[in-house]
């Protein structure tokens, strides 16, 4: 559930490959921390990782 909420809440993808691709870094501001961002990085081949979120460890995506 938290993953779905996180993905829906993301406001920008800064590495889009095409208009139909979700590959890239999806980030959003960290509430209460001006200038700080958090998110998830989806890579070709199915690898995934979190950005500035140590408690959410992603390994892969489909």
**Contact between residue 43 and residue 23 where contact means Cβ atoms under 8 Å apart:** yes
Give the pLDDT of residue 51: 96
What tokens does 3 get? Answer: 């993953």
* Residue listed under structure tokens 């590495």: 15
Give the pLDDT of residue 36: 96
**Contact between residue 24 and residue 14 where contact means Cβ atoms under 8 Å apart:** yes
Structural domain boundaries of the chain?
Answer: 2-51
Give the pLDDT of residue 34: 96
Give the pLDDT of residue 28: 97
The residue ranges of DSSP E strands in the chain, in sequence order, are: 12-13, 24-29, 37-42, 48-51
pLDDT by 10s per residue, the chain, length 62 = 344 444 444 444 455 455 689 999 999 999 999 999 999 999 999 999 999 998 998 888 98
Give the pLDDT of residue 54: 86
Alpha carbons 62 and 45: distance in angstroms, whole number: 9
């Amino acid at each position: 559930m938290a993953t779905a909420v996180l993905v829906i809440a993301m406001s920008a993808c800064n590495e889009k490959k095409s208009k139909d691709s979700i590959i890239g870094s999806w980030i959003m501001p960290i509430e209460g921390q001006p200038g700080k961002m958090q998110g998830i990085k989806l890579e070709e081949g199915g690898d995934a990782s979190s950005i500035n979120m140590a408690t959410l460890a992603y390994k892969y995506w489909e």
